[in-house]
Amino acid sequence: MRVMAQVAMVMNLDKCIGCHTCSVTCKQAWTNRQGTEYVWFNNVETLPGQGYPRRWEDQEKWRGGWERTRSGRLRLRAGGRLKKLGGLFANPHLPELGDYYQPWTYEYKNLTEAPAGDDLPTARPVSQITGEPVDTIAWGPNWDDNLGGAPAHAPKDPVVEKIRDEVGERIRFEFEQSFMFYLPRICEHCLNPACVSSCPSGAMYKREEDGIVLADQDACRGWRMCVTGCPYKKVYFNHATGKAEKCTFCFPRIEVGMPTVCSETCVGRMRYLGVMLYDADKVGEAAAVEDEHDLYPAQVDCFLDPHDPAVAAAARAAGITHEWIEAARNSPVYDLIATYQVALPLHPEYRTMPMVWYVPPLSPVVEAVAATGSDGEDAGNLFGAIDALRIPVEYLAEILTAGDTYAVEAVLRRMAAMRAHMRAINLGERPDESVARAVGLTGTEMEDMFRLLAIAKIEDRFVVPSAARAEADALADTHPLDAPCPVGDRPEPRVMLNLGPTRRVS
């Protein structure tokens, strides 16, 4: 057992209101300079929709992530060394600017500095990249917002296309009319990052002390193989510097015990930060399981119980400090993933072992039941709605469990049981313990889960070990403050869990 620590995030999609505050604050903090006009390290997508960049989930086109060979090994979907060498100067699997959007601004000076006259001044849209007028604004990073243009755009959602034959007309009628949710996305900071293994120059790396994946700006040569390798398309190319950039998980804030900017500014309070301990020796085997439906439980099996004395002893032997072990024990992320088992990974079939997980939305189920005139909070009604697939659970499953509807239904049943349990308490009634037992929890666990998901305070939602401050000070001693230090260029030790044939560094 080789114990390692990872800072991870869970987002409760049942509470996301689609306000995009996280996107704006991240944009202002990290991508407000030349070359990053189109870059959104954090973006919020409306589902169903094509996402950002457009149709990023279509790996048959973009060739991101890993695939399992017949021999049971993992290889990059984009190909190994020889294939990369052959396409070094002409990579066909890269999103173009049109797949993102043409960033634009307006000629505001025409409004503020126009001389007096008979003509009404206008502020034409102009490209932020070329400076030329933009005749037609045809796409943007949030074009699908609130199902905008859904009849034209939602059918092009790769997941909708994949399951339309299975689900049939219910996708078109019930789904698009009554079911919509928001999906905030950042870099997944995976345990088995394909972007790291795709980089020919070794510029992409995974930090040993906290698992954050970064891009070394000095080492980057602009090959853009990392953009292809990332199946979530969360690595961007800065056309001004010729370097790759990505979400940094706000590592300067993490190092001093502060939450990420997107987490702290989230209006819905739906983000959770915490430390996960995992067995690094199990990552390769878990990522290479044959059945895609087994990827989610295989990754959960990699996580270690920080309350186990043997795990704690192994963690200390591996150099993990007492503060980090305590943070893992108090981690809301561990509780949501392992204790209550209501958080699921995003597209585990990419085999990157993502570390940003999601609690699937239950609200559309409640609304669908209430629309029939029934009690939308009654456990029996909710369980019946889930069992009857009143919403396309297949769609959620394709996003969160590689198509395993059983895992999604189990999570939705736990969420429904929690609502029914807390409703009884709020009405002064005696909760039915059989409802909790039916989903494998106790009444006390139901109440604890409710506190965490609904009314948790900031110190409960963000458990980042402040002991990282000492590590940051130590790094500062080895890297003078007056020395240039671009984003991601840190002298800390690296661990690269490259499980494919491209390269293997331990």
**What is the number of helices (H) and of strands (E) in the chain?**
26, 15
* DSSP code at position 49: S
Q: What is the mean pLDDT of residues 219-224?
A: 93
Q: Kindly tell me if the per-residue pLDDT of 85 is higher than 90.
A: no
Q: What is the mean pLDDT of residues 53-79?
A: 93
Please name the residues in contact with 323: beta carbons below 8 A apart, sequence gap of 6 or more: 465, 466, 467
On the CB side of 455, CA atoms within 13 Å amount to: 5
pTM of the model: 0.87
Q: 185 by DSSP, 3-state: which? A: strand
Between CA 32 and CA 199 the distance in angstroms is 25
What are 441-492's pLDDT values in tens digits? 999 999 999 999 999 999 999 999 875 555 555 655 654 444 444 333 433 4
Q: 249 by DSSP, 3-state: which? A: coil
Exposed, middle or buried by CB within 10 Å (0-12, 13-18, 19+), for 94? middle
Q: Kindly tell me if the per-residue pLDDT of 321 is higher than 50.
A: yes
Q: DSSP letter string over 95-127? A: --HHHH---EEE-THHHHSPPS-SSPP---EEE
Q: 215 by DSSP, 3-state: which? A: strand
pLDDT at residue 383 in the model: 64
Quote the mean pLDDT of the chain: 85
Between CA 350 and CA 125 the distance in angstroms is 38
- Least confident interval from 47-56, 214-223, 281-290, 459-468: 459-468
Q: Kindly tell me if the per-residue pLDDT of 339 is higher than 60.
A: yes
Distance between alpha carbon 274 and the CA centroid of its chain, in Å?
15
Highest averaged pLDDT of the listed ranges 123-137, 303-317, 433-447, 454-468? 303-317
Tell me, what amino acid is at 423? R
pLDDT at residue 472 in the model: 52
Q: Kindly tell me if the per-residue pLDDT of 364 is higher than 80.
A: no
Q: What is the mean pLDDT of residues 258-272?
A: 95
Between CA 452 and CA 108 the distance in angstroms is 46
pLDDT at residue 385 in the model: 61
Domains observed in the chain: 27-255 (3.30.70.20), 271-461 (3.30.70.20)
pLDDT at residue 487 in the model: 39
Q: What is the mean pLDDT of residues 18-38?
A: 94
Q: 279 by DSSP, 3-state: which? A: strand
Q: Kindly tell me if the per-residue pLDDT of 178 is higher than 70.
A: no
Q: Kindly tell me if the per-residue pLDDT of 125 is higher than 60.
A: yes
Q: DSSP letter string over 345-394? A: ES-GGG-S--SEEEEPP-HHHHHHHHHTTS-TT-HHHHHHHHHTTSS-HH
pLDDT band for position 119 (cuts 50, 70, 90): confident
